[in-house]
Amino acid sequence: MEVFIRRLPKVELHLHIEGSLEPELMFEMAERNGISLPYSTIEEARNAYQFEDLQSFLNIYYQGANVLVTERDFFDLTWAYLLRCKADNVIHTEIFFDPQTHTARGIAFDTVINGIFHALRQGEKELGITSKLIMCFLRHLSEEEALETLAQAEPHLNRIVAVGLDSSEIGHPPAKFQRVFTKALAMGLKTVAHAGEEGPASNIWDAMNLLNVSRIDHGVQCTEDPVLVADLAKSRMPLTVCPLSNIKLRVFDSMSDHNILTLLDQGLCVTINSDDPAFFGGYMTDNFLAVNNALHPSRSQLVQLTRNAIEASFISDEEANTLNAALDEFWANHGNDA
């Protein structure tokens, strides 16, 4: 089964590029940019990646992002992630970036997006990994600041497929960002939002009804509301679930408690993703293996998780047909639930 999972074509839809900053690369960037870190060794930094909840994680996450200064830094960060994708057989990825984390430090919006975008294009050319870019608003900041960020993004709309909403969910409901999401939709962008991770099921309803999202990031708290679960199944509203993240942030006590396969069996369009892999203990293959080891899915269930991700992605029908053909070929050669 492990060999099957490693070879399985994968599609990632929930990845914060800043959350893929490994301690080794953090130290490298800190040195070349003359930035001091609160850690004396790489091992000390890795040991500091321990959290009690979402907010304690975010505190360390934003601190680490301080080493990202130049276009080269953002390129190197994205390229390192793409090399992980290649090793994990990720054939398509749709990544989040948080411009406000950087513009607040005086880093130009152009610097951030240019470095990320150029790495993504090189990844498609040299690694064969297709990609899309999603700009997230930090929900602990004001909607006015989000509107300002959207304005900064206007010259780059040809590089961005959607806007999202991340950071602290508790105390920052979707309604807070209804105006900026309405404006983004009018500009031709798609919308996604983190909802139902630490927050209640009502945040999922609000993300759908107020923000008109095309998919829900996380969404595992939907089980609080059976009517919502039924609606999600009927509409095929995608949930970009992040198993290892959910355990690390205590959304579930253990992987054996996770509801991803229950939701899959109920007909929901759930997918597996890595969220902030440098902090949460693993990239895509690690997440699939963790789910397999604890919940023992069938091979057809694992393939369905990738098929769901293709369905949920922001690619053209032609591109989806290409990815599904690759998955069909894999299943023809390796598929058997016996």
Backbone φ and ψ for 188, nearest 5 degrees, come out as 95, 10
Q: Residue 275, annotated ligand binder?
A: yes
CA distances in angstroms from 312 to 93, 180, 205, listed in the order given:
12, 23, 18
**Residues 6+ away with beta carbon under 8 Å from 215:** 13, 192, 237, 238, 239, 240, 312
Report the alpha-carbon distance of residue 234 to residue 231 in Å, rounded: 5
Looking at 2, 197, 198, 311, which residue is catalytic?
197
Q: Residue 92, annotated ligand binder?
A: no
CA nearest neighbour of 78 among 45, 109, 117, 49: 117
- The residue whose two tokens read 């998780």 is 305
CA atoms within 13 A on the CB side of 184: 34
Under 8 Å between Cβ of 132 and 164: no
Describe the strand order of the beta sheet including 190-195 as a list of residue ranges. Answer: 10-16, 90-97, 130-138, 162-166, 190-195, 215-218, 239-241, 270-272
State the distance between the two ends of the chain, measured CA to CA, in whole angstroms.
11
Rg (C-alpha) for the chain, rounded Å, is: 19
- The residue whose two tokens read 């604890």 is 294
**Residues 6+ away with beta carbon under 8 Å from 231:** 237
CA distances in angstroms from 105 to 66, 146, 319, listed in the order given:
8, 16, 38
Q: Residue 16, annotated ligand binder?
A: yes
In the chain, what is the greatest distance between 2 CA atoms, to the nearest angstrom?
57
Under 8 Å between Cβ of 297 and 259: no
Q: Which amino acid is at 328?
A: D
Q: Is residue 144 among the annotated active site residues?
A: no
| Residues paired with 215 in a beta bridge | 192
Give catalytic residue positions. 197
Give binding residues as ranges: 14, 16, 194, 275-276
Give binding residues for substrate as ranges: 276
Give binding residues for Zn(2+) as ranges: 14, 16, 194, 275
